[in-house]
Amino acid sequence: MLDDLEKIEAIDKERMRDFLLEFPLHCKRARRLAEEYPIPKELSKKKEKIIICGLGGSAIGGEILKTLLHHQEDVAVFINRNYSLPELAGRNTLIFAVSYSGNTEETLAAYKEARKRGCPIFCISSGGELRRRSEEDGVPCLVIPSGMPPRCALGYLFIPMLRVLERANWLRPYDYEELFQVLIDLRDRLSPSVPTRENLAKEAAIDLYGKIPLIWGVEGRTDAVAHRLKTQFNENSKILAFWDVFPELNHNEIVGWGGEGEIDLKNFYPIFIREKGEEEKIRKRIKVTQSLLEKVGIKGKEIWTEGRDLLPKILSSIYTGDWISFYLALIQGIDPTPVEPIDLLKRKLSQDP
């Protein structure tokens, strides 16, 4: 059915395919938005720490930023996915408060706490309470287009953080032209109009049908990718999925793959996030791990990053994963957009006890 565009339209009622097709464009537009935004005075002097406050689709950009800064700069980056801030947050900590809807209660609570502690804050949101409060408080807020599922707005939620920091000279600027080109090439290879035999994402979705994906990245390189793919399988494909990283998983998870326990390993599907030119030690670990899996009849799949720099590498493999999770929803007959359990939970939490 993945090559039948009418069937795709019938299942993908809320048209997630359009957001996926537009992802390269989102990244371009997001960069322009950040280019035009006046650099707030709070950013003129580099701080010791950055904390990105956000949840789910609004947090993953923070993980990407953390990876990039890990390789470039002397700023410590933390992700905060809870109501309160870590003790170390103070006047020398830049807070990015990121919420697509602007109404996520954990992010709003962290924002309030950051105000109390006198932290410089920069908000990114399409509206809601976060935008309202930041306007009232005179806190900079970059407003991004509304009307998308938050997880489809990754370009808008992530690129502005990176670009604003580059413009304020906190880190060396990335080559966005390479990024855009890599994403456009990928879009042209993975979109619904490309038949399954030539479409790596459709093929992967078919292989994954009925299985639980275990996505394995590399710490400090592709952990954000592995985490993002897990959440996209959860939210788009409505299945359980798990993630881990090398080398850590070589010190525990591989024991579970020994085949001694009473679990049918055929239910699981490992996905290796591979990087051209990955460290030799990591390459060797992956090779040995794959040979261990072969002993119990498991092959798994490799997703290779694309591009030269770490930025396109991360976003290309995330984009590939987004398409796989989208197609996996469709072959199960599931509309990828609605996330009813999340909506229900948010509704229940907002009601009085």
Q: Active site residue: 46, 49, 112, 346, which one? A: 346
- Cα–Cα dist 95/73, whole Å: 17
Nearer to ligand F6R, 93 or 232 (CB): 232
Check binding of 150 to ligand F6R (CB under 6 A).
yes
Residues 54-83 that bind ligand F6R (CB under 6 A): 55-58
Check binding of 238 to ligand F6R (CB under 6 A).
no
Report yes or no: 114 and 97 within 8 Å, Cβ to Cβ: yes
Q: How far is the CB of 18 from ligand F6R (least distance, A)?
A: 15
Q: Could you tell me if residue 40 is left (phi over 0), alpha (psi between -120 and 50 degrees) or otherwise beta?
A: beta
Q: Which stretch binds ligand F6R (CB under 6 A): 22-30, 100-108, 272-280, 294-302?
A: 100-108
R_g of the chain, CA atoms, integer Å: 20
Residues 322-341 that bind ligand F6R (CB under 6 A): 339
4 DSSP 8-state letter = -
List 19, 23, 100, 216, residue binding ligand F6R (CB under 6 A): 100
- Cα–Cα dist 292/258, whole Å: 8
269 backbone dihedrals φ, ψ, rounded to 5°: -135, 105
Output the six-digit token pair for 328: 């996996």
Q: How far is the CB of 101 from ligand F6R (least distance, A)?
A: 3
Q: Hey, what's the torsion of the CAs at 40, 44, 47, 52, to 10 degrees?
A: 30
Q: How far is the CB of 222 from ligand F6R (least distance, A)?
A: 20
Q: How far is the CB of 199 from ligand F6R (least distance, A)?
A: 24
In the residue annotation, 346 being an active-site residue is answered as yes
Nearer to ligand F6R, 67 or 99 (CB): 99
Q: Which stretch binds ligand F6R (CB under 6 A): 1-9, 22-30, 49-57, 84-92?
A: 49-57
SS3 content of the chain, % helix, strand, coil (to 5): 55, 15, 35
73 DSSP 8-state letter = -
Check binding of 101 to ligand F6R (CB under 6 A).
yes
Q: How far is the CB of 157 from ligand F6R (least distance, A)?
A: 8
Q: Which stretch binds ligand F6R (CB under 6 A): 20-28, 53-61, 113-121, 286-294?
A: 53-61
In the residue annotation, 251 being an active-site residue is answered as yes
- Angle among Cα 234, 70, 229 to the nearest 5 degrees reads 15
List 99, 222, 317, 320, residue binding ligand F6R (CB under 6 A): 99
267 DSSP 8-state letter = G
Nearer to ligand F6R, 134 or 289 (CB): 134
User: H or E element: which one contains 273?
Assistant: strand 268-274
Query: Cβ of 86: how many Cβ atoms within 10 Å?
Result: 11
Q: Which stretch binds ligand F6R (CB under 6 A): 68-76, 97-105, 132-140, 323-331?
A: 97-105
Q: How far is the CB of 78 from ligand F6R (least distance, A)?
A: 18
In the residue annotation, 262 being an active-site residue is answered as no
Could you tell me the sign of the dihedral formed by the alpha carbons of 236, 188, 220, 257, in that order? Answer: positive
Based on the number of CB atoms within 10 Å of its own CB, is 294 exposed (0-12), middle (13-18) or buried (19 or more)? exposed
Contacts to ligand F6R by CB under 6 A: 55-58, 99-101, 104, 107, 149-151, 235, 339, 342
User: What are the residue numbers of the active site?
Assistant: 235, 251, 346
